[in-house]
Chains A and B, each alone.
Chain A
Amino acid sequence: MIRGYFDLTRGMLRPFVDAALVFPALARRRVDVRLLINTGADRTVLSPGDALPIASLLGSLPPGPALRGVGGTTTTRRADVVITMATFSANLTLTIFSPSLGARSMPSVLGRDVLSHFALVVEERTDRVLLLTPDEADRVNWP
């Protein structure tokens, strides 16, 4: 089970989970990030602000898919990373926003490429943000 939390820092309760991203192609650099749990996002994406510490290395990475959001469409970079959340680790192709983009205060997001492997529990009433593995989800007495 991966336990996330509700973040209160920006005036609203939003579900986040902490993750470490290790970049094998960038000398195994590790970036620690807060990921907004976003079931509407197709992919897990590193935001411009979170990409800033490795900005000088991003030029060596291949282009990623175009990203479309409310602000329009933009280009990205792509990197194979090892994502670790709590005791869970897996390989993931990460999409990275260009740090030169203006919207640097936007969050990095945990998308359905990762979320689809878990059962997600997000309940403000009980302050629960949980990602359950299939085995754990199968043991729950769901309605």
Chain B
Amino acid sequence: MTGGGLGGAVSISQEEMAEIQAGLEHFHRDVMYLQEHYEELLDRYPEHWVAVYDQSVVGVDTDPERLIEQLRARGVPPEHTVREYLTREEVIWII
């Protein structure tokens, strides 16, 4: 498939799908954790990137690449973490 849009039969095993579903539920719990603790984390780590995994902060850095390295060094899979740049700067998105 080279254009945009959805298409074709999905090749994904039941086992992998179960793993994805569990991963998504885990990820969403971390999203909710970040939302619920956002102000507290912002007070603590202004102008920093934070990573949340297993409903706790597992990495903090001013540079997102260093944060990824930090996570890997700790054995945390960065691709499954919720990462956010914490700032009080008011930004309007017109994406």
Contacts and interface: CB of A to CB of B under 8 A. Distances in A.
Contacts of B35: 7-9
Interface in B48-95: 64-65, 68, 77-80, 82-85, 87, 90-95
Interface string A72-84: 0000001010111
Contacts of B21: 84, 87
A120 B41 CA distance: 32
Interface class of chain B by DSSP: mixed
A92 B3 CA distance: 9
B95 A52 contact: no
Interface string A93-117: 1000001000011110101011011
6 contacts: A18-B24, A38-B95, A90-B6, A91-B8, A113-B4, A116-B5
Interface of A: 5, 7-12, 14, 18-20, 22, 24, 28-32, 34, 36, 38, 40-43, 49, 52-55, 69-70, 78, 80, 82-87, 89-93, 99, 104-107, 109, 111, 113-114, 116-117
Given A55-B68, A91-B7, 12 more contacts: A20-B24, A30-B20, A34-B82, A49-B64, A49-B83, A82-B10, A87-B21, A91-B8, A91-B10, A93-B4, A104-B64, A114-B6
